[in-house]
Every structure is written in C-alpha cells, then in structure tokens.
Structure 1
Amino acid sequence: MRTQGDSLDPKNLIREAYRIEGIGMEECRSIFVDWALSLPDTVEPQAACAELLERYGEEGHPMTAVLSEGMSTPARTGRRGGRRGRRA
C-alpha cells in the first residue's frame, strides 16, 4: 500500500528514490523531472529541493546531487531569438 506524500513530495518520488539500491544519476534525473511536474503551483521548487535535501540527503547519493543542482538558478544562455536578434 502506497502512502500519500506531503506537499513537497506528493507522490513520494524523492523518498522512494533514496530507497532504491544502486540507482544511477540518469534515473534520479528522470524521477526529479516527474517530481517537479507533480508539484502544486503553490510550492516553489528551489525551496522544496532545499527542504527535501535536509529531510533525505545522503552523502554520495545521486539524488542528493540532482536536488543540489535543482536548487541553483539556471544560467542564461545566448540570445533569446526574435526578429531583432536576427537583424544586423
């Protein structure tokens, strides 16, 4: 029987990822995307990552690395496009 998660981990995806023996980085990234898509609109993802790290974080676990990356602000990349960007 599955237990219902809380507002930070509604499907218990993060909790279960820490329980999977031998899980790899690719699987953790996939679980992270599913987790992020299942968050309610009222939850700020970066703050949720920090809280989940405090709750479950294990040294050396790939999900710990993925959650740590999730706390960082994405870097801006190149131009954004549009007509002005294509014209000299």
Structure 2
Amino acid sequence: MDRTTDPLDPKGLIRESYRIEGITTAECRSIFLDWALGLPLETDTEDARQGLLTRYRPEHPDHPMTLVLLEGMGEPPARGRRRGGWRARDRKTTS
C-alpha cells in the first residue's frame, strides 16, 4: 500500500517497522509514539491501532511492533499512592 494513501499509517512508520530486521520492543515503542503523534487530529487513534493489528498480526504474531500495538488494548496498570513519612508510620503504630 502506498504510504501517502494509507489512512492508518500515513507516514508508513508502522509498515517500515515490520521490515526492520532485529528491531527491539523499545525501538517499536518509539516508532509507535511517532506514529500516534503524526496522525491527523480527526483520526481515531484506537480505530487506527486496531486496524493495524488486523493488518499485521496474522503474519507477524510475535513481532515487537505487534506486541506494542497489543499493549494498548488493556487497561493501564493501577498505581497505588505512596504513603510515606509520618502518615505511614502513624498508621503502622495505631494498627
């Protein structure tokens, strides 16, 4: 597909990442960020990501870019609040 006509990957970044021999997950994350920032404002990023997965995952199930595209599917891990200082010590001594 011509990179200028692909609405899912206008700059061809994702397509090219699948062609790079030995690309790492970290490199794919960087490319993914560039891809996301380069999409037109009216593009639904989630729909585009899903479309790219549909396109590339069947032939490249274990490719680092496929794994990066899959990372966006789930909820981000919950982060607990750090309770340090006197509040944490006070809670331990009163329990």
Would the alpha carbon gap of residues 3 and 43 (structure 1) be closer, same or farther in structure 2, given more than 3 Å must change? Answer: closer
When the two chains are superposed, the root-mean-square deviation of aligned CA atoms in Å is 1.9
Identity percentage of aligned residues: 56
| Residues 47 and 71 in structure 1, CA contact (< 8 A), matched pair in contact too | no
How much does 1:3 deviate? 4.3
1:26 corresponds to which residue? 26
Corresponding pairs, count: 78
How much does 1:45 deviate? 1.1
Stretches of 4+ aligned residues off by more than 3 angstroms: 71-79
Would the alpha carbon gap of residues 28 and 66 (structure 1) be closer, same or farther in structure 2, given more than 3 Å must change? Answer: same
Whichever residue aligns with residue 43 of structure 1, its letter is: T
Distance 1:51 1:3 in 2: 15
Larger Rg: 2
Structure 1, gaps ≥5 residues long: 80-88
Whichever residue aligns with residue 6 of structure 1, its letter is: D
Structure 2, gaps ≥5 residues long: 82-95
Q: Please report the TM-score for the alignment, with normalisation by the length of structure 2.
A: 0.70
Q: Please report the TM-score for the alignment, with normalisation by the length of structure 1.
A: 0.75
Would the alpha carbon gap of residues 31 and 14 (structure 1) be closer, same or farther in structure 2, given more than 3 Å must change? Answer: same
